[in-house]
Amino acid sequence: MGGKPAFMTAQIVPVLPQTLALAAEILREGGLVAMPTETVYGLACDASNPQAVARLYEAKGRPHFNPLIAHVAAMDMAKQEAMLSEEAETVARQFWPGPLTLVLPRAATGTVCDLARAGLDTIGIRYPRHPAAQGLIAAFGQPVVAPSANRSGHVSPTRAQHVMEDLGDRIDLIIDGGPCATGIESTIVSFAGETPTLLRTGGIETSALNAAIGGHLALHTDDSIVAPGQLKSHYAPDATLRLNADAPEEGEAWLGFGPDSHTGLNLSPTGDLAEAATKLFAMLRALDARFDRIAVARIPNEGLGEAINDRLARAAYRD
Ligand code: TXA
Ligand code: MG
């Protein structure tokens, strides 16, 4: 699989026992498989295989200092890779399987290779809820590492077709599990230091997470990059974005939220934040393909709106 000719395009296959078995076989041979998760599509490879991981970084064009999340399909598999404090385990039991990644001290029994961890002694672990992701990891029998299946710096993929557009000529297989139900990446919280610290807003609302740990969640505020992937410009479309807009100006495409009468797309005409999250990346991709300037309506900064606004701010950021 490592030697797939560049001119071949990955096949998109449906979720079936035999396609998951094929995908697991490709992983064993060191190949790259795009899998659906409830957040966004991930690009999976054997977490223990440095050659496979090197190929994954290359396919994405991702800097090697940026560690990958290990995906598991059972609590035991998480414990093989990382040390969960009592508090971390409480949070894991409440939100797994689901859109939450825990950064934890690595366990001595861990199998995730150095390159995938970017040499750190911590590890990001997620137990996804999507049955196809669970089925693939179970068929493989070991953790897979899986960053979002986009080229580094692009908007994350929430449809199999997005993966095809970004990476189709660089990977071995794409499993089509339909549109992602959550649509934005997992919330990342670190339990590796003194206090639990939020590293990335995402599919689990910050307030729910904070409540689960008795209200002492620390927000990561200083400017050092704790999650190395959290660069200011990270979800960059080619188009320029104008945020918190009331209406499109001459020459701007419109991305609305809540009832409005403007021509363009709308993340949720009824103002539903969960619906907006599932549609965000697909609509950004669709507008970016056709327009140079996009005006985006104001999104309330509460609940999932926090993660949506975080992604929009990164998409709008220009050095
Ligand atoms: O929803 C998601 O989390 C998706 C799906 C595919 O699971 N994955 C995803 O992976 O968003 P990626 O690689 O695009 O983003 C992972 C983020 C990066 O910002 C990375 O720096 C951070 O997690 N990260 C991973 N391991 C870490 C660690 N040990 N310490 C701090 N940050 C870590
Ligand atoms: Mg990503």
Domain residue spans of the chain: 11-219, 240-316
Q: State how far the Cα of 40 lies from the Cα of 147, in Å rounded to an integer.
A: 9
Q: Would the annotation count 186 as a binding residue?
A: yes
Q: Would the annotation count 71 as a binding residue?
A: yes
More confident residue, 7 or 151: 151
What pLDDT does 229 receive?
Answer: 56
Closest ligand to Cα 67: 1
Tokens of 282: 């697909």
Q: What is the pLDDT of residues 47-92, one digit of tens each?
A: 999 999 999 999 999 988 899 999 999 999 999 999 999 999 999 9
Mutate to test the pocket of ligand 1, among 100, 101, 204 (most ligand atoms within 8 A of CB): 101
Q: What is the pLDDT of residues 85-123, one digit of tens each?
A: 999 999 999 999 999 999 999 999 999 999 999 999 999
Number of H helices, E strands in the chain: 9, 15
- Give the number of the atom of ligand 1 that is nearest the alpha carbon of residue 182: 1
User: What value does the mean pLDDT take over residues 15-23?
Assistant: 98
| Residue in 108, 104, 122 with CA at minimum distance from that of residue 80 | 108
User: What's the pTM value of the predicted model, to 2 decimals?
Assistant: 0.93
- The average confidence (pLDDT) of the chain is 93
More confident residue, 1 or 96: 96
User: What value does the mean pLDDT take over residues 152-175?
Assistant: 96
User: What value does the mean pLDDT take over residues 220-232?
Assistant: 56
What pLDDT does 224 receive?
Answer: 45
pLDDT cut 90: percent of the chain above it: 88
Answer yes or no: is pLDDT of 225 > 70.
Answer: no
What pLDDT does 313 receive?
Answer: 92
Q: What is the largest CA-CA distance in the chain?
A: 59
What pLDDT does 85 receive?
Answer: 97
Task: Calculate how far, in angstroms, residue 254's C-alpha sits from the geometric centre of ligand 1.
Answer: 30
Answer yes or no: is pLDDT of 6 > 60.
Answer: no
Answer yes or no: is pLDDT of 223 > 50.
Answer: no
What pLDDT does 237 receive?
Answer: 85
Answer yes or no: is pLDDT of 235 > 80.
Answer: no
Q: Would the annotation count 39 as a binding residue?
A: yes
> Under 8 Å CB-to-CB from 8, ≥6 apart: which residues?
169
Answer yes or no: is pLDDT of 228 > 70.
Answer: no
Q: What is the pLDDT of residues 288-305, one digit of tens each?
A: 999 999 999 999 999 999
What pLDDT does 203 receive?
Answer: 97
> Which residue's alpha carbon is nearest to atom 33 within ligand 1?
227
Closest ligand to Cα 98: 1
Output phi, psi for 272, to 5 deg.
Answer: -95, 115
Task: Calculate how far, in angstroms, residue 52's C-alpha sits from the geometric centre of ligand 2.
Answer: 18
> Under 8 Å CB-to-CB from 206, ≥6 apart: which residues?
187, 198, 217, 306
Q: Would the annotation count 48 as a binding residue?
A: no
Domain over 11-219 is classified CATH 3.90.870.10? yes
Q: Would the annotation count 62 as a binding residue?
A: yes
Which of 5-19, 82-96, 169-183 is least confident?
5-19
Task: Calculate how far, in angstroms, residue 131's C-alpha sits from the geometric centre of ligand 2.
Answer: 21
pLDDT band at residue 164 using 50, 70 and 90 as cut-offs: very high
Which residues line ligand 1 at a C-beta cut-off of 6 Å? 37, 39-40, 42, 66-69, 101, 103, 120, 122-124, 126, 146-148, 185-186, 188, 199, 226-230
User: What value does the mean pLDDT take over residues 152-159?
Assistant: 93
What pLDDT does 220 receive?
Answer: 72
